[in-house]
Structure 1
Amino acid sequence: MQKFIAIGDVHADFPRLWDALRAASCAGADGLPTPPVCAGLYQVVLIGDLVHPKNEREYARISGVPRFDPGNPDHLLLAASAQFDGLVRLRTYQQAAPHAVHILLGNHDDAALNTTFVLGTSGGMRHTEFDPEHGGVPLPGALRDWMCGFPRELRVGGVQFAHVGPLPAHTHYDDLFYADHSPKRWFRDTPEYVAMAGLEFGVYGHTQVPDGILLDEDHRFAMIDALQSREYLELMLDPQSETPVQSVRAVPF
């Protein structure tokens, strides 16, 4: 039996991420994994999208400016540098227990590594702080190498953790992915995809759902882009059992 702590999209809100990890007894005051994590009794899964704040207010917060100007290279440098610091601290945490801390590749992480696609906020501001062609600065080599190693999914028996959804197409962030609206709507329009994929349970992020974590018990999946709502998902899994998911709950912190 193992406890899995799954945390939704970070989007550069590293202080809230550390609050969640400490609340789940997965990180100590020193920012390192706790003994249960080091022993593998607790498994931490970050569902992806470490980078790119969700809105202009969050960009201003991490950059330390009253109003963030995405056309100002100095502001882009401040935003990038703040995220570099957060990523370095998280890399230290993950590398202290790589067998128990799993970080999945979200589409925003992929866009920071591959600047072919310029993503934006719901308010219309573009994420260009890591794109030199648009005034940003590239990811440092060590961080780039680390993030390039992020898997696109994690499977534990019949339980899948992935950034977007259960389909193979949901893990490839290409032209088709961005042209198709279904990655944002599949859990409402075709929730049977989880069963069709032969899964016992699925844990996904990418789409923020009102009122925090969405647990669909009938279709056996959870949508957990809810860090901003101060919730994480806790699962007790027994991969050797015919019913591997022993319990699942949304936990406020």
Structure 2
Amino acid sequence: MRKFIAIGDVHADFATLWAALRAASCADAQGRPTPPVVAGLYQVVLIGDLVHPKNEREYARLSGVERFDTGNPDHLRYAAMAQIRALEGIKAYQEAAPHAVHIILGNHDDAVVDPSYVLGTSGGLKHLEFDPEHGGQALPEDLCVWMQGFPREVRLAGVQFAHASPLPAHLYYDDLFYADHSPKRWFKDTPEYVDMAGLSFGVYGHTQVEGGILLNEVHRFAMIDALQSREYLELLLDPEQANPVQGVRAVPF
């Protein structure tokens, strides 16, 4: 039996991420993996999108300015450097227990390491802090290499952890992904995708659902983009059992 602690899209809310890891007994006060994580009894899964705050208010908080301005190169550099420092801490945490800490590649992470697309917030603010052509600060090479190594999904005993959905097409962030509405709507319109994929259970982020983590017991999946609601997912998995998922719940912290 292993416990999986899955945490939804971070979007540069690093203080809340560490609070979740400490609450789940997965990180100590110094940001190091706890003994259950080091032993592999606890498996940590970050569902992707480590970077890019969700709105202007969060950019201002992260950057230490009163009002964030994407046209101000200083503001872009402040935002980039704050994220770089935090990413270095997450990288060190994973490297201390690589067998037990899994980070899924989200579309925002992908856009930083392979800048084919300029993403933005729902309010129209563009994520330019890692773009030197707009006055931002490029992500250091070691962090680029680290993020390029993030898997697009993690599977064990029929349980899938992926950023957007169970569809193979949604593992790649290309023109079709961004032109298609289904990565954001599938869990409402076609929840049977999990059944069609032959999965025991699926865990996904990418789409924030009102009310925090959404558990669909009928179709056996969870939507966990709920870090801002201070919730993470706890899943007990026994690969030796016919029904490997022995328990799943949303945990407030």
Aligned to 1:172: 172
* Structure 1 counterpart SS, 2:222: strand
Aligned to 2:228: 228
Aligned to 2:94: 94
State how far apart, in whole Å, the 1-side matches of 2:170 and 2:240 are: 27
Q: Deviations over 1:25-83 (max 9, x none)?
A: 00001110000000000000000000000000000000000000011110000000000
CA RMSD of aligned residues (A): 0.5
Q: TM-score scaled by structure 1?
A: 0.99
* Structure 2 counterpart SS, 1:44: strand
The aligned runs of 1:69-148 (5 Å cut-off) are: 69-148=69-148
Aligned to 1:149: 149
Establish whether residue 2 from structure 1 lines up as the match of residue 25 from structure 2: no
Task: Tell me by how many angstroms 1:134 deviates.
Answer: 2.4
Task: Tell me by how many angstroms 1:202 deviates.
Answer: 0.1
Task: Tell me by how many angstroms 1:116 deviates.
Answer: 1.2
State how far apart, in whole Å, the 2-side matches of 1:134 and 1:186 are: 35
Number of residue pairs the alignment of both structures matches: 253
Task: Tell me by how many angstroms 1:239 deviates.
Answer: 1.2
The aligned runs of 1:176-195 (5 Å cut-off) are: 176-195=176-195
State how far apart, in whole Å, the 1-side matches of 2:164 and 2:217 are: 18
Aligned to 1:57: 57
Aligned to 1:238: 238
Unaligned runs of 5+ in 1: none
Q: Deviations over 1:97-124 (max 9, x none)?
A: 0000000000000001111100000000
State how far apart, in whole Å, the 1-side matches of 2:87 and 2:217 are: 34
Aligned to 2:205: 205
Q: Percent identity?
A: 76
* Structure 2 counterpart SS, 1:150: coil
Q: Which amino acid aligns with 2:220?
A: R
* Structure 1 counterpart SS, 2:154: strand
Q: Which amino acid aligns with 2:234?
A: E
Unaligned runs of 5+ in 2: none
* Structure 1 counterpart SS, 2:123: coil
* Structure 1 counterpart SS, 2:3: strand
